[in-house]
Amino acid sequence: MTFQSISYLLFALAIWLLAIPLSGARSRQVLLLAASYLFYATWGFDCLAILLASSLMNYAAGELLRKRPTTARLCLGVTLNLALLAIFKYLPSMADGASLIRRLFMPVGISFWTFEALSYLFDLYSGDEDANPSLIEFCLYLAFWPTVLAGPVCRVGEMLVQFRREERPGWDDVATGVQRIVLGLFMKLVLAQILLEGVSKDGGVAYGFDQISGGWGGVDAWVLAIGFGFQLFFDFAGYSHIAIGSARLFGIRLPENFDRPYLSLSPSAFWTRWHMSLSFWIRDYAFLPLAMLRPGKWWLMVTLALSMILFGFWHGATALFLLWGAYHGALLVVHRQIQALRQHRKLRVPPALDAAASWVVTFAPVSLGWLFFRSRDLHQALEMWSAIFSPARYMHLILRPNCYIVTAAIVVGYFAIESIRPILARVTGGERAQVVVRALSPAWYAAAVLLIVAYSAQESLFVYFRF
């Protein structure tokens, strides 16, 4: 069952209707857990069995750690989780075609809930007293259906408080939940889908990456890099909106995953606004502990690079993901050096020019990084990169005209909306303006819903279900 299906909407509605009359936290937890397992079982009972095994294993490891938080016990728990990831995620992709390991399937969302389990063990080890779930609560924490497929990666402390809340969801929770589900569906089914497939065949980024064997021009490489970056953004941010909105219907607030990342003015800022739940996880459980091992700036840079390589490796054990992670590590290191240099030299640039230049030197390299993320193989990624840096190849166009036009329209439209948002917020801050906005909002929702329905006939999965 996927988030953009009719069955999911009916499923969420049915569980909501069942949950509303329940008064106690415990009964709501049991209902949500049963619903979560039912939801996950639609992806296969074998997937559910692995999730159950992981839940019991981690709960037991947690109990051991709670009794005596030793490094050995933590290592045991971490090793078991990494082994699970290795067996079901990494080894099959590395094994050769005929071997038995190759035939192992990857339970959807394993990277997400394994990282949630790891954070639980780390929190217990560090003596977090809020990490004290019952077995049901812990199972619900790992299996909670809005997050089980592709995050956001939650922390046990922040979820437990909400699972234990006796209060029922309020009107605002439901209204916000529905709004975010509609927004998420619009981003996924309309915007991401149009960028992926184009308005006509041969018009999307999928065509440019998958069906052309070579010869991309400079403009083509830029359009594909930026187009894919936005497709991924609308796809994953759309998914996150639906996940967050679904949880909100039950009064549960999940951590945000995106905060207008393409408006970032530095690579560091980008990573605090893109896939935030995972990047904060990496920061808290990989970067900070590593950085504190040794003093010195050089070690900080090494740690930054290593953390980003881990980020890439989390997506998959391929050279391209590792390269993508290393590339972002290098961007962060370079950014730190430039920051230090600017502070040292006390360079003064007009703020508007500074912001514009910072945006360009952030957006462009981040977009180019997607070429590593999306390419079929290293050869394709390198050929596209060489097209970017070959002036002669800017005269050569290989994509269909609609691909350039649609990508440009969506990207420019996005930035235009983001630019006028602060102005609109100021204008609509007044009481009268609020009334007008409220009066007009049904038209926006109706248009969004109609477009969602029109494009809902096409079947496609969310990109991050692969990880």
Partner 1 sequence: MKLEELGKGRIGLRTLAYRLYVPLASLLLVLLAGHWIAIRAGRFDPETALQNQYLRFQKSGDAAAGKLDGLTPAEAAAADRVIADWYEPTQSNGQVLFLGNSQTMAINDYRAGDMVAAQWLQVSLLRQIGTREAPALVLGSLPNITMPETVARTVEFSESRGRRLKQVIVALTLREWRGVGIRPEVQNEIAAHQLAGPLAELIGSNRDLVHGDTVLQGTLQALKNSAGTAESGSAPPVSSRVERTLQKFAGNNSVLFKSRPYIVVELFIQYMRLRDWLLGIKSDAPRPIPFETYRANLEMVELLIRYARARNCDLVIYLAPIRPLQPNPTLASDLARFRADLPKLCARYHATCLDYSDLVPETKGMWTDYPDIRQPDYAHFTGAAHRLLARRLAEDIGSRLTLAAAPRSNAQ
Binding-site member from 63, 158, 172, 418 for partner 1 (CB under 8 A): 172
CB closer to partner 1 out of 147 and 264: 147
As a whole number of angstroms, the distance between CA 50 and CA 40 comes to: 11
The mark string for 94-123 relative to partner 1 (x by CB under 8 A, - otherwise) is -----------xxxx---------------
Binding-site member from 174, 286, 300, 364 for partner 1 (CB under 8 A): 174
Confirm or reject binding of residue 70 to partner 1 (CB under 8 A): no
**237, 335 contact by CB (below 8 A):** no
Phi first, then psi: give them for residue 21, nearest 5 degrees. -70, -15
CB closer to partner 1 out of 109 and 152: 109
Confirm or reject binding of residue 24 to partner 1 (CB under 8 A): no
Residue 160, token pair as written in the block: 């437990």
Position 226, amino acid: I
CB closer to partner 1 out of 106 and 381: 106
Confirm or reject binding of residue 92 to partner 1 (CB under 8 A): yes
Residue 254, token pair as written in the block: 């999940």
As a whole number of angstroms, the distance between CA 160 and CA 166 comes to: 12
Active-site residue flag, 275: no
Which part of the chain contacts partner 1 (CB under 8 A), choosing from 68-76, 136-144, 256-264, 391-399? 391-399
The helix-helix angle for 135-143 and 110-125 (nearest 10°) equals: 140
Confirm or reject binding of residue 7 to partner 1 (CB under 8 A): yes
As a whole number of angstroms, the distance between CA 215 and CA 211 comes to: 12
- What string of DSSP letters covers 393-427? GGG---S-HHHHHHHHHHHHHHHHHHHHHHHHHHH
CB closer to partner 1 out of 104 and 269: 104
Q: How far is the CB of 324 from partner 1 (least distance, A)?
A: 19
Q: How far is the CB of 136 from partner 1 (least distance, A)?
A: 25
Binding-site member from 13, 20, 347, 360 for partner 1 (CB under 8 A): 20
Q: Which parts of 208-227 interact with partner 1 (CB under 8 A)?
A: 209-215
Query: Could you say which DSSP state residue 100 is in?
Result: T
Residues present in the chain in total: 467
**218, 388 contact by CB (below 8 A):** yes
By CB atoms closer than 10 A (0-12, 13-18, 19+), residue 211 is: exposed
**102, 90 contact by CB (below 8 A):** no
Query: Could you say which DSSP state residue 258 is in?
Result: -
Confirm or reject binding of residue 5 to partner 1 (CB under 8 A): yes
Q: Using alpha carbons only, what angle is made at residue 446 by residues 440 and 450, rounded to the nearest 5 degrees? A: 155
Confirm or reject binding of residue 129 to partner 1 (CB under 8 A): no
Binding-site member from 66, 273, 336, 400 for partner 1 (CB under 8 A): 400
Question: Which entry of 315, 328, 379, 396 is annotated as an active-site residue?
Answer: 315
SS3 83: helix
Give the number of other CB atoms < 10 A from CB of residue 271: 24
Confirm or reject binding of residue 137 to partner 1 (CB under 8 A): no
Per the omega criterion (within 30 degrees of 0), is the bond before 152 cis?
yes
CA distances (Å), origin 402, targets 155, 195, 205, 302, 389: 43, 10, 11, 43, 24
Q: Looking at 255-315, list the stretches that DSSP marks H as alpha helix, in order from N- to C-terminal side.
A: 267-270, 276-282, 288-291, 297-315
Which part of the chain contacts partner 1 (CB under 8 A), choosing from 38-46, 153-161, 263-271, 281-289? 38-46
Residue 100, token pair as written in the block: 């038995």
Q: First CA to last CA across the chain, in angstroms?
A: 17
Residue 225, token pair as written in the block: 């890099």
Binding-site member from 60, 83, 199, 424 for partner 1 (CB under 8 A): 199
Which part of the chain contacts partner 1 (CB under 8 A), choosing from 41-49, 118-126, 330-338, 348-356? 41-49
Phi first, then psi: give them for residue 346, nearest 5 degrees. 50, 50
Binding-site member from 168, 273, 283, 336 for partner 1 (CB under 8 A): 168
Q: Which parts of 415-454 interact with partner 1 (CB under 8 A)?
A: 438, 441-443, 445-446, 449-450, 453-454
CB closer to partner 1 out of 299 and 465: 465
CB closer to partner 1 out of 124 and 149: 149
Confirm or reject binding of residue 464 to partner 1 (CB under 8 A): no
CB closer to partner 1 out of 47 and 331: 47
Binding-site member from 397, 414, 415, 428 for partner 1 (CB under 8 A): 397
CB closer to partner 1 out of 46 and 63: 46
Confirm or reject binding of residue 43 to partner 1 (CB under 8 A): yes
Confirm or reject binding of residue 166 to partner 1 (CB under 8 A): no
The mark string for 349-388 relative to partner 1 (x by CB under 8 A, - otherwise) is ---------------------------x------------
User: What is the sign, positive or negative, of the torsion defined by CA atoms of 272, 278, 282, 288?
Assistant: positive
Instruction: Kindly list the catalytic residues.
Output: 315
Residues of the shown chain interacting with partner 1 in the complex, contacts defined by CB under 8 A: 1-2, 5-7, 10, 20, 42-44, 46-47, 89, 92-93, 105-108, 167-172, 174-175, 178, 197, 199-203, 206-207, 209-215, 376, 396-398, 400, 402, 405, 438, 441-443, 445-446, 449-450, 453-461, 465-466
